Amino acid sequence: MKVLIIGGGGVVGQKLGKALAARGELRGAPISRLVLADMAEAPVFDAPFPVETATCDISDPASMERVIDADTDVIFLLAAVVSAQAEEDFDLGYRINVDGTKNVLERCRALGTKPVVVFTSSIAVFGGEVPQPFTDHSALNPQISYGAQKAIGEILLNDYSRRGFVDGRGFRLPTISIRPGKPNRAASGFMSSIFREPLQGQSANCPVDRDFPHFYLSPRKCVENLIKGAELEQAALGKCPSMTMPGRVWTIGQMVDAMTAVAGPEPASRITWEPQPELAAILEGWRMDIRPEKALQLGLEADESFEDNIRYFLEDDIQR
Amino acid sequence: MKVLIIGGGGVVGQKLGKALAARGELRGAPISRLVLADMAEAPVFDAPFPVETATCDISDPASMERVIDADTDVIFLLAAVVSAQAEEDFDLGYRINVDGTKNVLERCRALGTKPVVVFTSSIAVFGGEVPQPFTDHSALNPQISYGAQKAIGEILLNDYSRRGFVDGRGFRLPTISIRPGKPNRAASGFMSSIFREPLQGQSANCPVDRDFPHFYLSPRKCVENLIKGAELEQAALGKCPSMTMPGRVWTIGQMVDAMTAVAGPEPASRITWEPQPELAAILEGWRMDIRPEKALQLGLEADESFEDNIRYFLEDDIQR
Ligand SMILES: NC(=O)c1ccc[n+]([C@@H]2O[C@H](COP(=O)([O-])OP(=O)(O)OC[C@H]3O[C@@H](n4cnc5c(N)ncnc54)[C@H](O)[C@@H]3O)[C@@H](O)[C@H]2O)c1
Ligand SMILES: NC(=O)c1ccc[n+]([C@@H]2O[C@H](COP(=O)([O-])OP(=O)(O)OC[C@H]3O[C@@H](n4cnc5c(N)ncnc54)[C@H](O)[C@@H]3O)[C@@H](O)[C@H]2O)c1
């Protein structure tokens, strides 16, 4: 069982690799080799099997020829340009997120080996006037180019799967919180930073009210779900292998209260609550009620409580 | 007002051109020039303005540079590889229907003139386990590559519109019946041929039962709707400029009875009713109940009755 993580140097890719190392097997077979492919050399870690790195660019078909070979059984396709960047650089977003995804699928088609391809879409595919809650049967109506590119990726994955070129499964990731690492400039950054920074002794600003509802998942559960997603039988996916990954709708207030329940009152006191008028319109579009019914039926899971998300962060990621 | 019809030599393109000739104006301004662009030289017709032809291939960006210029105010993008061919030749379908559509949008973006682009999608974007009726808020879940390509075309159109590169509007055409011309090999061919051939004195086979329901529109109403679609104000389109064009769900039995009501009992007696087991699975997926609510609210229309479709065929298209 040879596993390839494209985007293996990213936040989800690294955690997924380590989870695979801890498990040692996938789809009932021992993992014989794990390749972490990314733009730059990805960090490696200990595992009961060889962990290799490869540099690649999914927007370059030749690079995909080098990285995906006839022995590759399972591909996690995580490489992407994220939302703010795709909105800023229109051509780059389409080149990486659409042409890049197609290059991966085309390489699999050329090989004829029908590998399992796990694609990471996003809830940014939802929006506009489509009535909530958003279910697996709701129209994809993205209101940012990143969401449009992910929606196209899903349709490509579904069609390549139907044609038998890959055994694809796509999961719309909820907003991952608490995301480890440095604060970033993405509009969604506050959704992690209002917990991460205060828990690490720093302050952070929240630009929305306590009653703001959104759809969240912890990094730990995300990785567990990607592994479960890879293990599903193709027949169980029915006539649409792309679906929303489980998550839960929490309000910011519930999440802050969960932090207080787990870590005491101090972290919450480090949050400032200043509206950011320049973000208001975008954030209004993120008041999302989402029902991930299909994936729940297939055995994927959300966090039980946001207290869990806080505990996972303290166990897995906190930097002191 | 310069109007360009890409795919202007096709069935819809020709009828649309003639309807524009009869009107003389579009979006409140007289038409000064109409260009019919197609792979081969399109037939021309009389009009109160110059009608030109251009040969082009939408899959070639250079060809789009020649055909779309800064004076082009309204573009009807009808050129496409149709369903059976796109299923047979996977690469061709993506090259024409996806890359070709993107080439048109990219050319408009490069010009910076934000022309109106009317895109023809298809109800083939619907399918799978998504519950019926299919509304404008239903997931696009195509079960053929042609439908996947049209769904991607819609998402591209919507995103290019949101970004202000074009003033796009997309319409999912119902199955057009009665389609004039020669019988073709498409699985949907019988949906026109069981009327067209009998009304022209020939026999035709119907592979489904009388109770088979599907979503239809006459060519005449289709063209009227494309013109109305071009005239909508962008603000009226809201946060999703792609929608289902009005049509109505009729059963084959209702349609045959309508033919008898208009043309007497003889044509219906020329229909044979032989199931085609090799088509059964495809046809099962076409039992479609569709609600085109948004376009109806915007003033587009379906045929009042299938008797109308029969009469339009007798007036516009019958070949004796
Ligand atoms: N984290 C979230 O909240 C979230 C939410 C929804 C969807 N997603 C999706 O999940 C996936 C993983 O997210 P993440 O948080 O790990 O992102 P990340 O930015 O941490 O990791 C993405 C990795 O992809 C790599 N990459 C970018 N372009 C590449 C290219 N052309 N070729 C090869 N590698 C390239 C980057 O170098 C990076 O290491 C992405 O597809 C993302 O769009 C994430
Ligand atoms: N007729 C229907 O029932 C129906 C239903 C749903 C959607 N549609 C869509 O409506 C549009 C028009 O349909 P139609 O019935 O007139 O089809 P048609 O096949 O009669 O006409 C399409 C025209 O496009 C031209 N064309 C094909 N590839 C081209 C290319 N690469 N460059 C330039 N021109 C090219 C063809 O030469 C043809 O003249 C198509 O986009 C079709 O997919 C039609």
Q: Considering only CB atoms, which chain B residues are within 8 Å of A127?
A: 239
For ligand 2, the distance from its centroid to the CA atom of residue A104, given in whole angstroms, is 30
- Tell me: the pLDDT tens digits for A34-81? 999 999 999 999 999 999 999 999 999 999 999 999 999 999 999 999
The C-alpha atoms of residue A5 and residue A168 are separated, in whole angstroms, by: 14
The C-alpha atoms of residue A118 and residue B222 are separated, in whole angstroms, by: 40
Are B272 and B206 in contact by the 8 Å Cβ rule? The answer is: yes
* Count of other CB atoms within 10 angstroms of residue B52: 13
Are B93 and B22 in contact by the 8 Å Cβ rule? The answer is: no
Ligand 2 lining (C-beta closer than 6 Å): B 7, 9-13, 38-39, 56-59, 78-82, 96, 100, 120, 122, 173, 175-176, 179
Q: Is A100 in the pocket of ligand 1 (CB under 6 A)?
A: yes
**Under an 8 A CB cutoff, do B155 and A158 touch?**
no
**Under an 8 A CB cutoff, do A239 and B137 touch?**
no
3-class secondary-structure state, position B69: coil
In this structure, what token pair is assigned to residue B141?
Answer: 């879940």
**Under an 8 A CB cutoff, do A137 and B159 touch?**
no
Q: Considering only CB atoms, which chain A residues are within 8 Å of B128?
A: 238-240
The C-alpha atoms of residue A15 and residue A23 are separated, in whole angstroms, by: 12
3-class secondary-structure state, position B175: strand
For ligand 2, the distance from its centroid to the CA atom of residue B144, given in whole angstroms, is 17
The C-alpha atoms of residue B119 and residue B245 are separated, in whole angstroms, by: 11
| The three-state (H, E, C) secondary structure of chain A, written as one string | CEEEEECCCCHHHHHHHHHHHHHCEECCEECCEEEEEECCCCCCCCCCCCEEEEECCCCCHHHHHHHCCCCEEEEEECCCCCHHHHHHCHHHHHHHHHHHHHHHHHHHHHHCCCCEEEEEEEHHHCCCCCCCCECCCECCCCCCHHHHHHHHHHHHHHHHHHCCCCEEEEEEECEECCCCCCCCCCHHHHHHHHHHHHHCCCCEECCCCCCCEEEEECHHHHHHHHHHHHHCCHHHHCCCCEEECCCEEEEHHHHHHHHHHHHCCHHHHCEECCCCHHHHHHHHCCCCCECCHHHHHCCCCCCCCHHHHHHHHHHHCCCC
Residue B27: per-residue pLDDT: 98
How many residue contacts between A and B have a Cβ separation below 8 Å? 77
Residue A116: strand pairing partners: A74, A167
**Under an 8 A CB cutoff, do A140 and B139 touch?**
yes
> What does the buried/exposed string (b/e) look like for A87-105 if buried means 16 or more CB atoms within 10 Å of the residue's CB?
beeeeebbbbbbebbbbbb
**Under an 8 A CB cutoff, do B143 and A238 touch?**
no
Ligand 2 atom closest to residue B77's alpha carbon, by position in its atom list? 41
∠ at Cα A156 (A150, A159), nearest 5°?
145
The C-alpha atoms of residue A171 and residue A173 are separated, in whole angstroms, by: 6
For ligand 2, the distance from its centroid to the CA atom of residue B82, given in whole angstroms, is 7
Are B137 and B189 in contact by the 8 Å Cβ rule? The answer is: no
Are B143 and B127 in contact by the 8 Å Cβ rule? The answer is: yes
Distance from CA of B155 to the nearest CA of A (A): 6
Closest residue by Cα to residue A158 from B130, B281, B156:
B130
The C-alpha atoms of residue B13 and residue B36 are separated, in whole angstroms, by: 8
Number of Cα atoms under 13 Å in the Cβ half of residue A60: 9
pLDDT of chain A along its 320 residues, tens only?
999 999 999 999 999 999 999 999 999 999 999 999 999 999 999 999 999 999 999 999 999 999 999 999 999 999 999 888 999 999 999 999 999 999 999 999 999 999 999 999 999 999 999 999 999 999 999 999 999 999 999 999 999 999 999 999 999 999 999 999 887 767 788 999 999 999 999 999 999 999 999 999 999 999 999 999 999 999 999 999 999 999 999 999 999 999 999 999 999 999 999 998 888 888 888 899 999 999 999 999 999 999 999 999 999 999 97
* Count of other CB atoms within 10 angstroms of residue B254: 15
* CB-nearest partner of A159 from B145, B158, B238: B145
Whole-model pTM: value is 0.97
Ligand 2 atom closest to residue B124's alpha carbon, by position in its atom list? 6
Are B41 and B110 in contact by the 8 Å Cβ rule? The answer is: no
Distance from CA of B168 to the nearest CA of A (A): 15
Closest residue by Cα to residue A3 from A47, A43, A40, A39:
A47
**Under an 8 A CB cutoff, do B128 and A238 touch?**
yes
The ligand placed nearest to the CA atom of residue A84 is 1
3-class secondary-structure state, position B108: helix
Which of B146, B160, B216, B312 is labelled catalytic? B146
Residue B207: per-residue pLDDT: 94
Residue A279: per-residue pLDDT: 84
The C-alpha atoms of residue A100 and residue A1 are separated, in whole angstroms, by: 24
| The three-state (H, E, C) secondary structure of A219-286, written as one string | HHHHHHHHHHHHHCCHHHHCCCCEEECCCEEEEHHHHHHHHHHHHCCHHHHCEECCCCHHHHHHHHCC
Residue A164: per-residue pLDDT: 98
The C-alpha atoms of residue B120 and residue B118 are separated, in whole angstroms, by: 7
Closest residue by Cα to residue A7 from A49, A72, A58, A50:
A58
| Residue in the structure block whose two tokens are 């006191």 | A269
> To test ligand 2's pocket by mutation, which of B76, B122, B217 has the most ligand atoms within 8 angstroms of CB?
B122
For ligand 2, the distance from its centroid to the CA atom of residue B8, given in whole angstroms, is 9
Residue B83: per-residue pLDDT: 87
- To the query of whether residue B312 is one of the catalytic residues in this protein, the response is no
Domains, chain A? 2-173+219-244 (3.40.50.720)
pLDDT of chain B along its 320 residues, tens only?
999 999 999 999 999 999 999 999 999 999 999 999 999 999 999 999 999 999 999 999 999 999 999 999 999 999 999 888 999 999 999 999 999 999 999 999 999 999 999 999 999 999 999 999 999 999 999 999 999 999 999 999 999 999 999 999 999 999 999 999 887 767 788 999 999 999 999 999 999 999 999 999 999 999 999 999 999 999 999 999 999 999 999 999 999 999 999 999 999 999 999 998 888 888 888 899 999 999 999 999 999 999 999 999 999 999 97
Q: How far from chain centre, in Å, is Cα B105?
A: 19
Which of A146, A160, A216, A312 is labelled catalytic? A146
* CB-nearest partner of A148 from B90, B129, B158: B158
Q: Is A175 in the pocket of ligand 1 (CB under 6 A)?
A: yes
Are A45 and A21 in contact by the 8 Å Cβ rule? The answer is: yes
Residue A121: strand pairing partners: A172
* DSSP line for B214-270: EEEE-HHHHHHHHHHHHHS-GGGGTT--EEEPP-EEEEHHHHHHHHHHHH-SHHHHT
For ligand 1, the distance from its centroid to the CA atom of residue A313, given in whole angstroms, is 20
∠ at Cα A85 (A228, B142), nearest 5°?
50
* Count of other CB atoms within 10 angstroms of residue A230: 21
* Count of other CB atoms within 10 angstroms of residue B115: 23
In this structure, what token pair is assigned to residue A288?
Answer: 């999302």
3-class secondary-structure state, position B140: coil
Q: Enter the ipTM.
A: 0.97
For ligand 2, the distance from its centroid to the CA atom of residue B3, given in whole angstroms, is 17
* Burial class of B138 by CB neighbour count within 10 A (0 to 12, 13 to 18, 19+): buried
Ligand 1 atom closest to residue A175's alpha carbon, by position in its atom list? 3
Residue B75: per-residue pLDDT: 99
3-class secondary-structure state, position B160: helix
**Under an 8 A CB cutoff, do B140 and A139 touch?**
yes
Q: Which of A83, A94, A123, A137 to mutate to test the interface with B (most CBs of B within 10 A)?
A: A137
> To test ligand 2's pocket by mutation, which of B36, B82, B126, B218 has the most ligand atoms within 8 angstroms of CB?
B82
- Protein residue closest via CA to atom 29 of ligand 1: A79
- Tell me: the pLDDT tens digits for A95-109? 999 999 999 999 999
Closest residue by Cα to residue A260 from A193, A307, A194, A213:
A307
